[in-house]
Structure 1
Amino acid sequence: MIYVSDKFFPTAQETERTWRGKVSFALFDVTAKGDAAAATEQQPFSDVSKTLDTVTDAINYGTCEKNQFRLDGSMELFGPSGNFGWWSKEISDVDGNFVNPPTVTYTFTKPHSSIGLTLIFAEPVQDVTATAYNGETVIGTKEFTGLNTSLAVLDFPVENYTKLVIEIHRVLPFHYAKLLEINFGIEYVYDDEKESLLNYDVLEDIDLMSNQLSSNTMTVTLNNMDQRFNMFNPKNEVRFLQERQKLSVSAGLLVDGKFEDIPLGVFYLSTWDSPTASTTKFTANDIISLMTGTYYKSRLYDHERGEAILKELLDAAGLYDEQGNPLYYIHPNIRNVTLSGYIAPMRYRDALQRIAFALGAVVKTDRYGKVLIYRATEETRNAIVIDKHTPYQGTLISGTFGAGQGIVLPRRAEPLPNPAVIDRSLYQTPKTTLGKYYNQVNVQCYGWKLKSEVQNLYEGTITGDTIITFSAFPAAEVTISGTYGSAEIYACACVLRGANGKITITGKVYEAAAKTISVCLPEVTASVTPNALDIKDVTLIGQDDTAESVAGWILAQLQNRIMQSFKWWTNPAVEASDFVKVETAFGEYRESQIKKMHFTYNGALTGDSEVIG
């Protein structure tokens, strides 16, 4: 559940509500920062490379610059540590000009294209010049005067540049130029006020039994009356569109005269088109859609912690931002659960699903763009990430931490009451379906025995770097013969670098043995036909306790057989996997768990949901 003000829920339950929609679209060259190198003269305590790290928060130090040190308690004494970004070596004169205007140069290993530039300064900047080069040839230059802002958005469309030079001419009098960050593009905001946002559609979905890994999606239709995205317009911006550009979507509710904005997700551009001459439509998916390629780095695990297995996968998938911060959260309730077995080479998404299933966990992308892996238990009813906003009735044990696992909850903490989907908010009677009845779950538990004979795992001619998958089962005592530079050996794969010629790989293969562990309901009604569900081929289930835990978890989930689908005056603070109480036609409240939230905005926010319980 999204943290909201105390008045948000009562306002959201009113029959008349006022909404606003907003979509932020970062039209950036998404590869430029990772390819850029910055150079300039600077103050020794500053670092121009920090202008590429996405950090825009600076410590509010007091300096000896003119009229800079406010005596209101908001300033800190200057110190040579912290995030300064870049500071010019020289200070400006009485008019804010520089005798020798400082420059920052960004060079790239390959050509890039941007619709413009966004410069974030620590203090207002007045005049700057941007120049773009392809090699040593100037392909564009433009002066920007009278800016008087810390957020300088430069309308400077340029294609195929390999170098950019930013020259600062004027800042505040007797001040240094202070650049915190550069973005190679411009962020556009589409909303109702500018009549630029026509509608959007957001689907948030979760598989509560981790049979598959769901990916959230969104579409947005924008007003294109200015023909910005018309491909026949000579000055169109379609040429700057790239896959994986970021879109953020929100819905704002008018609460006590002010709009309270609720995030609906962070998405990455997938496709774009123009349904009509005056509209543009973007389709985007969440971060899970970026987990492309094959994961092959699994080891043969023996009572390995779930957190370690997940981190190996997520590290290989590169699920980190530009600063190296993880774009995932592994809940404490699965971090120390151990698994034995391996993951055969498969898609990243499939590998993540297998790990989550073996841990008895679910996976979803939250509204802020992070992948969450957790057990959807009472502990995580309506707040998965344990932080200061977690709505529990008990008092958090402040100051108690465990190896980076976050705040530890008191033993008897209980979640706050669930938000209720009340009857008057329904457009129609819910559609109800009843799932199949199961009273037993059988799970295959695997063991592996190393064969005594050495087998030929691979033989062939290789030039350069390659990945070889050599067996359906893991292997050990692997030997590589032939000419190569280096090798990395995993459970079911081998990475060779600098190979040249015939390569032969041999080793001993593990032979699998399986047994079945069953969990059944304690009592079965005599009139009900017994029915069992079989779980097979999950090669991370290699411990009896894991098999029993998975069987018990699946059996419990299968008892939630009633699926309700309904349209309602939706509440965007409620998320997939939250527990809710849905009022029935008989005035009773039935507790259920949200499987799907679907939001539609076209001047007002409406939606539909699926719950199971």
Structure 2
Amino acid sequence: MKTTCEFRFGFWDVTARGDAHFAVSQNQDYARIEDINAEDPIVFPNVATLEPDFGFPLDGSKEWLPDNARLTQWGWWSTDLSGGDLTFSNPPTLTVTFYNEDGTPTPHSSAGITFTFVATLPKTVNIKWYGYDGGLLADKDFTPDRFDYFCDWQVEDYYKVVVTVKSMKYAHRFFRASSILFGVLEILDDARVTSANLTEEISPVALTLPINKAEVSFYTPNSRFALLDPAGAYRLFQWKQELTAYKTVDSTRTMLGKYYLQEATGTVDAVTALSCVDMIGVLDTVEYKGGIYEKTPVSDLLDDILTPENVEFELDKAFDGVTLTGYLAIGSKRTALQQIAFAIGAVVDTARTEIVRFYPAPSEITKTITPERKIVGHKITMEALVTQVDITAHQYTLITDEVKELNKATFEVGEHTVTFSSPVSVTSVSGAAIVEKHPNYCIVNVTKAGEVILSGYGYEDTKTVYTVKTEPLPAGAKASAKSVTSATLVDPGKAQDAARRLYDYYQLRYTDEGQILPGQEQAAERAEVSSLGGRTLTGYIQRVVTDLSGGGLETITLRGR
């Protein structure tokens, strides 16, 4: 059995794409220069042109320019051909300025710029980087020798980039480029990786929302990422730079998921260590304002949480038509997803995909781990018996009998945000004007410093406990209960099902943890583990830790019966 691993690390400025705005001196009228900034690569059509000895071969390899050419992504395609001396009389020039949605200029830093050229390579490309005040930071010529070419020149805190195509490799050729990337894609393969561990974990009943992690160390020649080098590339590591993991077992290649840089540590003997988390880990750092919900479709609430972060999700058809009624306090988006998943009975999974998936815990066995694949040293443990599960259901009602003082404080001139510990409905304010009101907060604008009083109504939380228990108790058993009181999206219509799911989970009392030979096991799968004694443990794989640099050995944790 042969195993290999590979990591593709996006060592680029993570906000440059969103802040980049493009202007070009020349481009075909059916081409949009913004397309070179697309996240998904352009497939550049191989169309016939009038380029001598190149653009119109008679072997049928090229296609005609489509009538609806504007519907195709072309990127950057010059209108002029290079001359006999390979240069342009009017050099194609691209100007990139960086600013946010408010029009505020933004600084960016990268180890260089990567281009994808098409059809013919340019001979010389010049790049100039400019600072905030318009001063020139760097001026460098590059001579590309491949179509995916990295212009390797580290520049920090630039606000504008000007790219000029000085000449082409051949005479009488158009210049074409399909993409630009402010940084470089680092390919970390077996030859460079010194250690790599991947942790994939789920909770079958969403009691928690585990964060998958990738820990990768790799060799870097020439101390490129040396921590103490004030001009080194270490300074360019950024939160949320992307790492995509792959493993190959024999000839089967598997994408293991997309991760995001959390921390990079300095080099020791030219080794750099990356600590990355999955999208759940990213969402743990993003605030969600929450709110009061009344029969809100699950898909709508997930869309409200994930779409602003440009996160795609997949909701299993089992949850079609399912709605949520209840309350979410201000907290992280990870916490909000956990509350949703617990209420509807969903597994939340990001492993081996680029999206967030929500689906019911599987009921069918899809994997069998035989004794031949188990490595000596498996540990079997047994959890304490749980005989009762109590779930507190919440029902929120707006009480409008009497207007109450919700908050009183003294503020200086300006906008201020008042947050509430429980949901409210603000009806009036004195000493300020309401800018925005919400069940969890209110933004006010104060024009004269002084006391501000917010008034309105509060919500009453009616709590009802739903129970599932073992009846009668087994002989000699001691009653033991587990309870969940803070699931604020569990209303009376969902509480009994939630209690049953949790009770059934706690009856899976045995846990098998140990190493197995490489395979395709995934967290959340329902599997059975066989032992030499002929006994079989059946349950959910809750965690898979893969040593990608150590032969692909997997340490699995399975809870079952």
Q: Give the TM-score of the pair, scaled to structure 2.
A: 0.89
Return the match for 2:256 from 245, 264, 288. Answer: 264
Return the match for 2:283 from 282, 287, 291. Answer: 291
Contact 1:570/1:608 (CA < 8 Å) preserved in 2?
no
**In the aligned structure 1, how far is the partner of 2:447 from the partner of 2:283?**
28
1:151 aligns with 2:151: no
Deviates more, 1:226-235 or 1:24-33: 226-235
Give, in angstroms, the shift of residue 105 of structure 1: 0.5
Residue 160 of structure 1 aligns to which amino acid in structure 2? D
- Match for residue 323 of structure 1? none
Paired residue secondary structure (2:496): helix
1:104 aligns with 2:94: yes
Contact 1:419/1:581 (CA < 8 Å) preserved in 2?
yes
**In the aligned structure 1, how far is the partner of 2:528 from the partner of 2:64?**
49
Residue 608 of structure 1 aligns to which amino acid in structure 2? T
1:178–1:483: structure 2 CA closer, same or farther, 3 Å change rule? farther
Give, in angstroms, the shift of residue 509 of structure 1: 0.5
Paired residue secondary structure (1:428): coil
Residue 45 of structure 1 aligns to which amino acid in structure 2? Y
Paired residue secondary structure (2:309): coil
1:80 aligns with 2:70: yes
1:593 aligns with 2:540: yes
**In the aligned structure 2, how far is the partner of 1:467 from the partner of 1:369?**
35
1:432 aligns with 2:380: yes
Give, in angstroms, the shift of residue 57 of structure 1: 2.4
Contact 2:115/2:180 (CA < 8 Å) preserved in 1?
yes
**In the aligned structure 2, how far is the partner of 1:319 from the partner of 1:312?**
10
1:305–1:497: structure 2 CA closer, same or farther, 3 Å change rule? farther
What are the ranges of 5 or more consecutive residues in structure 2 without an aligned counterpart? 99-104
Deviates more, 1:207-216 or 1:88-97: 88-97
**In the aligned structure 2, how far is the partner of 1:538 from the partner of 1:475?**
19
What are the ranges of 5 or more consecutive residues in structure 1 without an aligned counterpart? 1-16, 321-325, 382-416
- Match for residue 456 of structure 1? 405
Contact 1:124/1:149 (CA < 8 Å) preserved in 2?
no
1:534 aligns with 2:448: no
Give, in angstroms, the shift of residue 525 of structure 1: 3.8
- Match for residue 101 of structure 2? none
Residue 507 of structure 1 aligns to which amino acid in structure 2? G
**In the aligned structure 2, how far is the partner of 1:505 from the partner of 1:574?**
55
**In the aligned structure 2, how far is the partner of 1:85 from the partner of 1:285?**
33
Give, in angstroms, the shift of residue 64 of structure 1: 2.8
Matched ranges for 1:30-179 at <5 A: 30-41=14-25, 42-58=27-43, 60=45, 62-66=47-51, 67-68=54-55, 72=60, 75=63, 77-78=65-66, 79-93=69-83, 97-108=87-98, 109-127=105-123, 128-134=125-131, 135-145=133-143, 147-171=144-168, 173-179=171-177
- Match for residue 417 of structure 2? 467
1:605–1:500: structure 2 CA closer, same or farther, 3 Å change rule? farther
1:235–1:341: structure 2 CA closer, same or farther, 3 Å change rule? closer
1:334–1:495: structure 2 CA closer, same or farther, 3 Å change rule? farther
Residue 395 of structure 2 aligns to which amino acid in structure 1? G
Contact 1:122/1:178 (CA < 8 Å) preserved in 2?
yes
Give, in angstroms, the shift of residue 35 of structure 1: 2.0
1:590–1:513: structure 2 CA closer, same or farther, 3 Å change rule? same
**In the aligned structure 2, how far is the partner of 1:48 from the partner of 1:603?**
45
Deviates more, 1:508-517 or 1:45-54: 45-54
- Match for residue 352 of structure 1? 337
**In the aligned structure 2, how far is the partner of 1:278 from the partner of 1:489?**
54
- Match for residue 504 of structure 2? 556
CA RMSD of aligned residues (A): 2.6
Contact 1:295/1:351 (CA < 8 Å) preserved in 2?
no
**In the aligned structure 2, how far is the partner of 1:589 from the partner of 1:174?**
72
Between the aligned residues of both structures, percent identity stands at: 24
- Match for residue 11 of structure 1? none
Residue 319 of structure 1 aligns to which amino acid in structure 2? E
1:581–1:112: structure 2 CA closer, same or farther, 3 Å change rule? same
- Match for residue 438 of structure 2? 490
1:117–1:428: structure 2 CA closer, same or farther, 3 Å change rule? same
Paired residue secondary structure (1:300): strand
Deviates more, 1:423-432 or 1:363-372: 363-372
Matched ranges for 1:512-531 at <5 A: 512-520=461-469, 525-531=474-480
1:575 aligns with 2:522: yes
**In the aligned structure 2, how far is the partner of 1:468 from the partner of 1:530?**
45
Give, in angstroms, the shift of residue 508 of structure 1: 0.6
Give, in angstroms, the shift of residue 554 of structure 1: 1.1
Contact 2:120/2:173 (CA < 8 Å) preserved in 1?
no
Deviates more, 1:585-594 or 1:338-347: 585-594
Residue 260 of structure 2 aligns to which amino acid in structure 1? Y
Contact 1:319/1:328 (CA < 8 Å) preserved in 2?
no
1:342–1:294: structure 2 CA closer, same or farther, 3 Å change rule? farther
Deviates more, 1:28-37 or 1:51-60: 51-60
Matched ranges for 1:330-341 at <5 A: 330-341=315-326
Paired residue secondary structure (2:39): coil
Alignment coverage as a number of residue pairs: 542
Matched ranges for 1:235-246 at <5 A: 236-246=232-242
Give, in angstroms, the shift of residue 496 of structure 1: 4.2
Give, in angstroms, the shift of residue 463 of structure 1: 4.1
- Match for residue 369 of structure 2? 421
Residue 553 of structure 2 aligns to which amino acid in structure 1? T
Give, in angstroms, the shift of residue 564 of structure 1: 0.6
Paired residue secondary structure (1:540): coil
**In the aligned structure 1, how far is the partner of 2:70 from the partner of 2:286?**
45
**In the aligned structure 1, how far is the partner of 2:60 from the partner of 2:479?**
74
Give, in angstroms, the shift of residue 143 of structure 1: 1.4
Map Cα deviations across residues 16-40 of structure 1 (whole Å, 9 max, x no partner): x112222222211112222221111
**In the aligned structure 1, how far is the partner of 2:78 from the partner of 2:430?**
56
**In the aligned structure 2, how far is the partner of 1:292 from the partner of 1:548?**
29
Paired residue secondary structure (2:405): strand
Give, in angstroms, the shift of residue 68 of structure 1: 4.0
**In the aligned structure 2, how far is the partner of 1:464 from the partner of 1:36?**
32
Give, in angstroms, the shift of residue 96 of structure 1: 5.4
Give, in angstroms, the shift of residue 447 of structure 1: 2.2
Residue 264 of structure 2 aligns to which amino acid in structure 1? W
Give, in angstroms, the shift of residue 189 of structure 1: 1.1
Deviates more, 1:46-55 or 1:69-78: 69-78
Paired residue secondary structure (2:17): helix
Residue 604 of structure 1 aligns to which amino acid in structure 2? G
**In the aligned structure 1, how far is the partner of 2:62 from the partner of 2:385?**
63
**In the aligned structure 1, how far is the partner of 2:149 from the partner of 2:268?**
33
**In the aligned structure 2, how far is the partner of 1:308 from the partner of 1:236?**
45
Give, in angstroms, the shift of residue 174 of structure 1: 4.3
Contact 1:296/1:493 (CA < 8 Å) preserved in 2?
no
Paired residue secondary structure (2:222): coil
Give, in angstroms, the shift of residue 429 of structure 1: 4.4
Deviates more, 1:133-142 or 1:326-335: 326-335
Paired residue secondary structure (1:313): helix
1:107–1:444: structure 2 CA closer, same or farther, 3 Å change rule? same
- Match for residue 362 of structure 1? 347
Contact 2:426/2:437 (CA < 8 Å) preserved in 1?
no
